[in-house]
A and B are shown apart, each in its own frame.
Chain A
Amino acid sequence: MKPLTHCSLRALRDAVRSGEVSAREVAQAHLDRITEVEPAISALLAVTADDALAQADAVDAARSRGDKIGPLAGVPIALKDVICTRGVATTCGSRILAGWKPPYDATVAARIREAGAVMLGKANCDEFAMGSSTENSAYGPTRNPWNLACVPGGSSGGSAAAVAAREVAGSLGSDTGGSIRQPAALCGIVGLKPTYGRVSRFGLVAYASSLDQIGPMARSVEDAALLLEAICGLDPLDSTSVDAAPFTATAVTRGDIRGLRIGVPREFLGDGVDGPVVAAVRAAVEALCAMGATAEECSLRTVRHSLATYYILAPAEASSNLARYDGVRFGLRAEGGSGHAGMTEASREAGFGAETKQRILVGTYALSAGYYDAYYLRAQKVRTLIRRDFDAAFERFDVLVTPTSPTVAFGIGEKSDDPLAMKLADVCTLPANMAGIPGVSIPCGMDRGLPIGLQIMGRSFDEETTLRAAYAYEQATHWHTLRPEVNR
C-alpha cells in the first residue's frame, strides 16, 4: 500500500472498512503530516489531535465489535472555520470570534461525524469568508503548497491547501462567490459548490445568506462526491434547504458522457483571462468531445453584470448578518466604550478587519432609504435576469464549461493594494452563485508550475451530470495525479 497520506479518501475508507489499516493509523499518519508541513503552509487554525484520535478509536472499536460503520469511516478531514463545531473554537478567521466555542454542531459537522469521518482540525479562511486569497484572515495567510510565495486562493484557502498538501483527505469549504472553486483551482484539487439548498446551512456562520453554500473539497471527483453524499439533504433546521432527489456518488462514477451537450460561453474566455488558461480550457473541451460529448460556443449576455450585482447583494446581507457581533453575548468585548453603543462600536472597531468593515459599510449604504431601489432592488432584478439566462442555456446544454479562475495563483501581497484586481479573481465563479446552480472545479493543466482549474456548471440539483462530466474528464487526464513540491 502507498503511504496513507497519498491515498484517496475512498481508498482510506475501504482500507479502514476491510481492516487493512486502523482508523487510528490513518489519523496518526495525517497528524504527523500536519506536524511536518503546517509550519510552511499554515492551512489550519486549530488541530484537534486528541479528539481526532479518540474518534478514530471509536471507529476501530465499532468495527471490531462488528457494528455497522459509516460511509466515511476513518476518513481524515478538515472543516473551514466558518462551520460551527461543538466545543471546538470557531473563529471565522476573525479576531471578533477569537476563542468562541459554539455550543452546537453545524448540521454538516454532525452528518460527517455520523458518517464516521474524523475531524483533524479547522481550516483557515478570509475573515467571515470575505476574500479570494485567505490574506484577510486575522490569523495570517495560508500558503499555496505549489509555491509557498503564492496565495492558495480563497476564501476557503485553508481547506484547499490542507487537501493539496495531503494533511487531510478531504475538507469542507463554503462558497458565496467562488470561495470553494477558486481555491480548489489554485491548489490543483477538486472543489464543488452544490446547488443552493442542496446542503444545510445550519451552523454555517453567515456571510451572504442567499448565496452561501457549503461544499466538498478533495483530490478526486469521486472523493468529492462521497463527501457530498454524506452532507446533502433536507434539514428541518434550515428552511432554505430543499427536499431534492437524493444524490449518490455511485451514480457519478457509473455511466459515460456520450451525447452530453456542452455549452462554452464566450463571455468566460474573453479579455482578462490568461492565454494558458484559455488554451487549457479549450483542450479540455476537446478531450470531453473525444469521449462522445458535443460542444458548442454560446453566450450568456447578462453574466457580465454578475460582479456588480454580487458586490451589492453580498455586502448588503453581510451588513445585517454581522450586526450580531456587538460584544454583548459572545466574542470580543473591547473596553473603552461607554454604554451599549460605545461598547458595540469599540468591539466592532477592534474585532473586524479592514475588508469586513468595508463590506459592512457598502452594504449598509446599499440598504439605506433612498438607495434601496437604486442598488439592492435593482441588483435583485439583475440577478433574476442572470438566472433566466442560465435557464435558457440549460435548455440547449447539459453542462457549461469555463475556466474557474482567469489566472493561476498570484503572489502573496501582490493584489492586496488593488481591490478590483482581487475581486476579478471571482469573475468566472460568481455567476453560478447568482443562479444558484452547481459548479465544480477540477485540475486541467499547469502554467508556470501552478495548477489551472476547469469549471463545469450544471442545472439546479443536477450535481450528478455535472460531476459525471468532471469524472469522465479526470479519468481521461493525468492532472489530478500531480503532487506539489511540498510533498517530497
Chain B
Amino acid sequence: MPGTQTETPYVGSIGMEVHAELLTESKMFCGCRNAFGGKPNTRCCPVCLGLPGSLPVANRLAVELVIRAALALNCAISPIAKFDRKNYFYPDLPKGYQISQYDQPIGSGGWLDIEPEAGPRRVRIRRVHLEEDTGKLMHLPTGESAVDYNRSGVPLMEIVTEFPPDMSSADEARAYLVKLRAILTCIGVSDGKMEQGSLRCEPNISVRPAGSAAFGTKTEIKNLNSFRAVHRGVQHELARQSALLRRGDRVAQETRGWNEARGETVLQRVKEVEQEYRYFPEPDLRPLHIDDAWVASIRASLPELPDTARVRLVEQYGLSATEADLLTQTAAWTAYFERAAGLCGNARATANWMMGELARLLNAAGIEIEQCKAGPEALAELLAMVESSKISGKMAKGVWEAAFESGEAPAAIAARQGEQISDADALGAVLDSVIAAQPDVWSALCAGDEKKLTFMVGQIMKQTRGKANPGEVNRLLRDRMPGGAQ
C-alpha cells in the first residue's frame, strides 16, 4: 500500500443493554425460590414450566426493586406496571412467549454520569423494565440437548441506553458498566455478579466516518462476563468494524460472541430480518398501580448513592477523586472503608491499604469484598498497630496476608510472629555484623552518601526478618556514624 493515503478516522457509537437478575426470594410469577445454580430442574413448578392451565401472579417485590433502580437512575416512573407478551419459539422459553414490558416500561428517560479519563459524560437511559428470565439450554456430550428451567421465571430487569448513543469508546463503555453495577449493588437490587451471569451486558456497536451523520450498521456482542472483557470486546469490535470499512467492506448486522481466549469477537448469528415478536398486552395479569405514595416511600428508602458518596468521601476524608471512585465501586467497599477509617481514625492509611493490599489480595483470590474474612475491624486493628509502631509496615503486610487467609485478628497474628525488636543491645549486635559484612557501603555512608542509609536499614531488616523497629535502627545507625551521639 502506498503510504500517501491518509487514514479515515472513524467514530464509534455504543449503546448498552444490561440485564440484571433481581434479588428477590421467589421467582417473578410463581413461588419457586430464586437462587443460583443447583441440580437442574429442581426449582420449578407448573407456572415456570409453562404447563397448560397455569397462570402467572406478579411478584410485587420485583416491581418494587425495578422502581428502586429506575429512581436511582433518575428515571420517570410509569403510573402502572403493565406487562406484555413477547412471542417467539425457543426451547429455553417454556410458554412460547416471555412476559415482559413493551410500550410502558416502569422507568424511562433517566441517566447516569461517568468520569472516564477522557472527561465526564452523561449517559442517557431510555428505559428500565421488568421481565422474566428464560431457562438454560445445554448441549450434552451425547449430542442431545437438555434444558434446565431453574432460571426460568427469575425476575430480570433490563436497562437500555438512549439512542443516539452517548458512548463512543471502550473506556466509556466500561465506566458505564462499572457505575451501573455500583448503583445496582448499592441499592440492593442485584448482586452484580457478572461471572455468574446475574449481571449481563450486551453492547451494540457501530462505527461511522468522522463527520458523517448517518450511523453505521450495528453489531451486538454477547458473552462479556467481566469489566475487562467488556473493555477488550468493545475495543476489538470498534477496530474490526473500522478495518472493514477502511478496506471498503461493509459491516453485517449480526450478533457476535466474545472469545476471551482468542481476544476477539466471533460471529454467532446473522440478523437478516428483525425478529417479529408480536407483542400484545398480557391478558393473564391486571396492570399494577404504582401510586405516588409507593414511589415516595421507595425513594425515601434509597441509601446514599455512589455519586453522592463519592463527593462526600472527597470532602469528608480528603480523598482524591480516583480514590473516592474506587472506594464507592460498590456499597460494600464504601461501608468497609468508612467503618475501618472510623475505627482507626486514619482515613488516608485506610484508603491506601484498601486500594493496595486489600484490592490485590481480593483480585488474586478472585472474591468480592463481601466474602473477605478480614473485615474492616481487622484492618483498623492492623493500621493502629502500624501507627503506634507496634509493627513495621513490612511486617504488617505479612500479618495482613495471614489475616486475609484465616480471618484471625491481626493483633493475635502479630503476637505470635513476635513483636518488633526495639532493644538497643539486640539490634546493636545485628548492626555490628552488617557493618562488618558491608565495609564499603558503610564507609560511603560515613563519607556522607545518605542514599546508602536505606540499603543498610534494608540489610538489617532482612537479618531480623522484618522484625527490627526501623525507627530504632535508623537512630542506632546515625549514632554510630562520625559526628553521632557516641
Contact = CB atoms under 8 A, between A and B. Distances in A.
Contact of A369 (B55, B147, B276): B276
Nearest to A208: B283
A320 B53 contact: no
Contact of A237 (B49, B55, B87, B280): B55
B89 interface: yes
Interface stretch (A102-110, A408-416, A477-485): A102-110
Contact of B285 (A206, A239, A320, A376): A239
A402 interface: no
A341 B89 CA distance: 8
Given A97-B52, A317-B283, A324-B50, A237 B278 contact: no
B89 A344 contact: yes
A372 B57 contact: no
Contact of A330 (B51, B87, B96): B51
A48 interface: no
- Chain B, interface residues (CB within 8 Å), range: 20 to 34
B283 A106 contact: no
Interface string A213-247: 00000000000000000000000111110000000
B53 A340 contact: no
A358 interface: no
Contacts of A239: 55-58, 284-286
B57 A236 contact: yes
Given A323-B95, A323-B97, A210 B283 contact: yes
A209 interface: yes
Given A239-B58, A367-B87, A324 B96 contact: yes
Contacts of A90: 52-53
A398 to B, nearest CB: 28
A277 interface: no
B129 to A, nearest CB: 19
A204 interface: yes
A5 to B, nearest CB: 31
A322 B50 CA distance: 11
A67 B441 CA distance: 104
A1 B52 CA distance: 43
Contacts of B463: none
Contacts of B97: 320, 323
Contacts of A452: none
Contact of B147 (A97, A237, A328, A376): A328
A364 interface: yes
A316 interface: yes
B486 interface: no
A329 interface: yes
B91 interface: yes
A365 to B, nearest CB: 10
Of the candidates A323, A330, A376, the one having the most CB atoms from chain B within 10 angstroms of its own CB is A323
Contact of A324 (B52, B57, B285): B52
Nearest to B30: A237
Contacts of B87: 319-320, 323, 367
A90 B38 CA distance: 32
Interface in A178-232: 201-206, 208-210
Nearest to A197: B286
A330 B53 CA distance: 13
B91 to A, nearest CB: 5
Contacts of B50: 324, 329
What 8 A-B pairs are tightest by C-beta distance, nearest first?
A323-B96, A210-B283, A367-B278, A209-B283, A84-B53, A205-B52, A203-B53, A205-B53
Given A317-B283, A368-B276, 7 more contacts: A103-B46, A206-B52, A208-B283, A239-B285, A324-B94, A344-B89, A367-B278
Interface of A: 83-84, 90, 92, 97, 100, 102-104, 106, 201-206, 208-210, 236-240, 316-317, 319-320, 322-324, 326, 328-330, 340-341, 344, 364, 367-369, 372, 376
11 contacts: A201-B55, A202-B54, A205-B52, A205-B53, A239-B284, A317-B280, A324-B94, A330-B51, A340-B89, A344-B89, A369-B276
